[in-house]
């Protein structure tokens, strides 16, 4: 994937990882459009020289409008980064999780699939193009506190593999970006201030180092995500041990958060 001269649409681009990617791509000489729900964040992005479009990834009509608007206003559009997502803890023994599950699946899984379906015919007409899905280390080893989120990321990983295979021989590259636990406000101020999370600027720097050094890489996994990714290929016994050890450690560290659900 070339790192300059693109026209890039990033969903969830008003904050966090999406905004970090947007700013760096713009610095490298790309035209960048961020899409999101929060108008105030989009205005802040526009003040930084980014273009902004409104979308609700939980709404099929809004997604269709985003695709049509992006193509009409930016006909050179050749890269789509599926970054928008929500992450909410769930205690499955309680009966109040149905709406959380529906919203998470719609935003994290159905939304990217619908947007890909709407924009892919346009991308196939470009000389070179790319689709980048943002999954998670939790696509490989789930976080028991956020089961539906983890499931959607696992599903997007699977969808990405199939999409890549079907687009062989076309101008469209398909990549998967696999973040670890990054210091953003995805789950609120606790995560944004968590010293255990990878600083956002370090994450962005490592991502672009991989993109420069391995331009044909299908998976972009920073070092902090390697243990989870490798565990998925370590065999059933080692995977189960990794899952249980990680889950026990995280449940102990976040017991108060769990008990409050």
Active site residue ranges: 149
Q: Which residue has the tokens 């001269």?
A: 5
Report the C-alpha gap between 250 and 24 in whole angstroms.
32
Q: How many helices (H) and strands (E) does the chain have?
A: 11, 7
Beta-carbon count within 10 A of 137 CB = 25
CB 6 within 8 A of CB 180: no
CB 147 within 8 A of CB 104: no
Contacts of 248 (CB under 8 A, 6+ apart): none
Residue 256's SS3 state is helix
Residue 185, both tokens: 């406000």
């Amino acid at each position: 994937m070339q790192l300059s001269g693109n026209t890039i649409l990033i969903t969830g681009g008003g904050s966090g990882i999406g905004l970090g990617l947007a700013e760096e791509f713009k610095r490298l000489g790309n035209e960048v459009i961020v899409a999101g729900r929060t108008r105030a964040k989009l205005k802040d992005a526009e003040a930084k020289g980014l273009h902004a479009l409104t979308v609700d990834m939980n709404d099929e009509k809004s997604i269709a409008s985003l695709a049509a608007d992006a193509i009409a206003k930016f006909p050179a559009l050749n890269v789509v980064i599926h970054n928008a997502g929500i992450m909410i803890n769930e205690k499955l023994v309680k009966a109040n999780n149905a709406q959380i599950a529906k919203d998470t699946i719609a935003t994290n899984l159905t939304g990217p699939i619908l947007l890909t379906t709407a924009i892919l015919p346009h991308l196939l007409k470009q000389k070179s193009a790319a689709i980048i899905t943002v999954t998670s280390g939790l696509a490989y080893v789930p976080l028991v506190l956020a089961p539906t989120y983890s499931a959607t990321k696992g599903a997007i990983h699977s969808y990405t593999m199939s999409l890549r295979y079907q687009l062989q021989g076309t101008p469209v590259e398909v990549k998967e970006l696999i973040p670890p636990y990054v210091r953003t406000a995805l789950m609120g101020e606790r995560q944004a201030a968590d010293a255990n999370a990878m600083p956002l600027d370090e994450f962005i720097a490592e991502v672009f180092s991989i993109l420069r050094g391995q331009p044909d890489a299908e998976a972009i996994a920073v070092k902090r995500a390697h243990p989870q990714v490798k565990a998925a290929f370590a065999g059933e016994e080692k995977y189960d041990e990794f899952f249980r050890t990680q889950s026990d450690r995280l449940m102990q560290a976040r017991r108060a958060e769990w008990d409050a659900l």
